[in-house]
């Protein structure tokens, strides 16, 4: 486990994530490494801890059971198995797919949201440096993750604002959904009136005769949920 009854240590996180990132590029080699490392051996991530008290549990949770598979299990879709099977060893899209699985395991299975956020931030760095077309995908992942964690409202707001500014969608439904995500983050940060204004604009758009029925439903449902939250907060 990357974090287990120990204080947050960014240097340690980064060293372990680097180890996992390298492993993501060659899952077969990673499996061989896991098999030949004993429970009481030093962890290959060089944390100084025994393997059983460090990365063993984490790696067993994330490794896909199919030996041939070039992708780790879980994560959000960046590429297909067919794409990964023929991709180069250092393909950044495959790497992002695998790192999304790492982030998901950290958050949902190891209950380590701080580690997951750090992993998402590393993914964003990789996308910016090596795969610009994937930046929007990573920002989407960060927004969804932060919506599930109130403590990361500022990071979520920054991600959704960048998404709206740099990667505008042609689909009104996507745009409105992102605007409402922004409103939710603003609410968590105490900017309730600004959030209300965003919801009111979305409601006006949904009330137009030419508005899509799905858009109307989403806006109405999210508005009712948001309004109920404000009533409870009083």
Q: Would you list the DSSP string of 124-179?
A: HHHHHHH-GGGHHHHHHHHHHHHHT-GGGHHHHHHHHHHHHHHS--S-HHHHHHHH
What is the model's pTM?
0.70
Does residue 187 sit in the same domain as residue 148? no
Identify the domain boundary among 129, 154, 179.
Answer: 154
Does residue 92 sit in the same domain as residue 192? no
Looking at the domain assignment, is residue 72 inside a domain?
A: yes
State which residues form the domain around 21.
Answer: 1-154
Looking at the domain assignment, is residue 226 inside a domain?
A: yes
Does residue 17 sit in the same domain as residue 126? yes
- As a whole number of angstroms, the distance between CA 92 and CA 76 comes to 15
Looking at the domain assignment, is residue 65 inside a domain?
A: yes
pLDDT, one tens digit for every residue, the chain (234 residues)? 344 444 445 555 665 666 666 566 666 666 677 667 777 777 777 667 777 777 776 665 555 444 434 666 667 778 877 777 777 767 888 889 888 888 888 888 788 899 999 999 999 999 999 888 899 999 999 999 999 999 999 999 999 999 999 998 888 888 999 999 999 999 999 999 999 999 999 999 888 888 888 888 999 999 998 988 887 766
Q: Is 213 exposed, middle or buried (0-12, 13-18, 19+ CB in 10 A)?
A: exposed
| 121 close to 93: Cβ distance less than 8 angstroms | no
Count of domains forming the chain:
2
Does residue 120 sit in the same domain as residue 200? no
Report the interhelical angle of 172-188 vs 153-166 (nearest 10°): 150
């Amino acid at each position: 486990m990357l974090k287990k009854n120990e204080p947050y240590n960014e240097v340690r996180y980064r060293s372990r994530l680097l180890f996992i990132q390298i492993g993501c590029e060659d899952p077969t080699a990673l499996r061989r490494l896991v098999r030949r490392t004993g429970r009481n051996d030093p962890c290959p991530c060089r944390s100084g801890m025994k393997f059983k008290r460090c990365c063993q549990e984490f790696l067993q949770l994330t490794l896909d059971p199919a030996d041939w598979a070039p992708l780790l299990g879980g994560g959000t879709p960046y590429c297909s198995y067919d794409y990964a099977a023929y991709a180069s060893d250092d393909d950044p899209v495959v790497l992002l797919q695998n790192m999304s699985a790492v982030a998901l395991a950290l958050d949902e299975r190891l209950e380590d949201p701080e580690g997951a956020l750090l992993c998402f931030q590393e993914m964003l760095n990789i996308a910016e440096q090596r795969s610009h077309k994937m930046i929007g995908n990573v920002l989407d992942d960060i927004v969804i993750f932060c919506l599930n964690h109130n403590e990361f409202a500022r990071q979520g707001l920054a991600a959704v604002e960048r998404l709206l500014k740099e990667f505008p969608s042609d689909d009104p439904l996507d745009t409105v959904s992102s605007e409402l995500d922004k409103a939710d983050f603003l609410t968590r940060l105490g900017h309730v009136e600004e959030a209300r204004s965003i919801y009111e604009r979305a409601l006006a758009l949904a009330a137009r005769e030419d508005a899509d029925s799905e858009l109307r439903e989403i806006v109405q449902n999210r508005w009712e949920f948001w309004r109920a939250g404000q009533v409870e907060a009083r």
